[in-house]
Amino acid sequence: MNGIKNKINGKVYICGAGPGDPSLITMRCWDLIKNCDIILYDRLVSKEILTLIPESTSKIYVGRSSGDPTTNQIKTNQIMLKYASEGKKVLRLKGGDPFIFGRGGEEAEFLNENAINFEIIPGISSAIGAAIYSGIPLTHRKFSSSVAIVTGHEDPLKEEKTVKWDKIATAVDTIVILMGIEKLDFILKKLEKNGLSKETKIAVIEKGTLKDQKIIIGNFNNIRAKIDNASIKPPAVIIIGEVVTLSEIIRWI
């Protein structure tokens, strides 16, 4: 909880809703869903979780898809400010974890600047949830002692791209890419150019942890064809590394 002396009576809860399966939300998240006045949710919050929201609770979609105006975040901030200023309890519900490519940090900064009381509740990231529901341990004593979680879609307004694919290629044993389907061909070329073999194992997981989860496994040579054949669509989690081979052994669903 932030330590500012607040002038606004309302409060905003920035909360991770987890990777999709409603049974994976935290008890704190469940309590907030039942008791907040307004819920602002994004496109990564599953339909299964949205059905848990009481009918009497006002809910507002504030999701942003690839290609949408970046001003969408400004609108979201203003909505939080409006309802908090009215003394409401506002739940800002985000897919996964709010601090892993969820803009939770940016929104907390805005709330702090505007003297709005807030609380931040972690959630299970899709990077972890999708991997576990696919039988892929991101670390393993025999195969992986390090893991990197990387965005495949950087802010288009950034003057300089900061994901150093040339360094990441050989710096860690397991690479997890979020929001990377659209730029996967570009990413794989970068990784191959900087040290990874075309035979490197790769898994792509759509709708991780949900009943209609899809997982395909291949290598740099054939993964694009497999994605197209399986009609995999974003958002999806991409996992690259030797740990992918364990999926066929320990996949439990």
Does residue 148 sit in the same domain as residue 176?
yes
Does residue 103 sit in the same domain as residue 134?
no
Contact 203, 136 (CB under 8 A): yes
Name the pLDDT band for 195 (thresholds 50, 70, 90). very high
Q: 201-206 and 236-240 as β-strands: parallel, antiparallel, unpaired?
A: antiparallel
Say how many C-beta atoms besides its own lie within 10 A of residue 226's C-beta.
Answer: 15
pLDDT at 248: 95
CATH of residue 198's domain is 3.30.950.10
The count of domains in the chain is: 2
179 closest CA partner among 224, 229, 238, 228? 238
179 closest CA partner among 235, 95, 98, 115? 235
Q: pLDDT of 27-39, one tens digit each?
A: 999 999 999 999 9
pTM of the model: 0.92
pLDDT at 4 over 50: no
Does residue 131 sit in the same domain as residue 120?
no
103 closest CA partner among 14, 26, 38, 21? 14
Does residue 29 sit in the same domain as residue 113?
yes
Name the pLDDT band for 66 (thresholds 50, 70, 90). low
pLDDT at 214 over 50: yes
CATH of residue 42's domain is 3.40.1010.10
Q: pLDDT of 123-181, one tens digit each?
A: 999 999 999 999 999 999 999 999 999 999 876 565 566 899 999 999 999 999 999 99
* Sign of the Cα pseudo-torsion (141, 143, 145, 147, in order): negative
pLDDT at 3: 46
Does residue 15 sit in the same domain as residue 119?
yes
pLDDT at 71: 64
* Sign of the Cα pseudo-torsion (127, 64, 153, 102, in order): negative
Does residue 54 sit in the same domain as residue 143?
no
Q: pLDDT of 233-242, one tens digit each?
A: 999 999 999 9
Q: Where do we find the tokens 């009497």?
A: 56
Backbone φ and ψ for 71, nearest 5 degrees, come out as -65, -10
Q: pLDDT of 76-114, one tens digit each?
A: 999 999 999 999 999 999 999 999 999 999 999 999 999
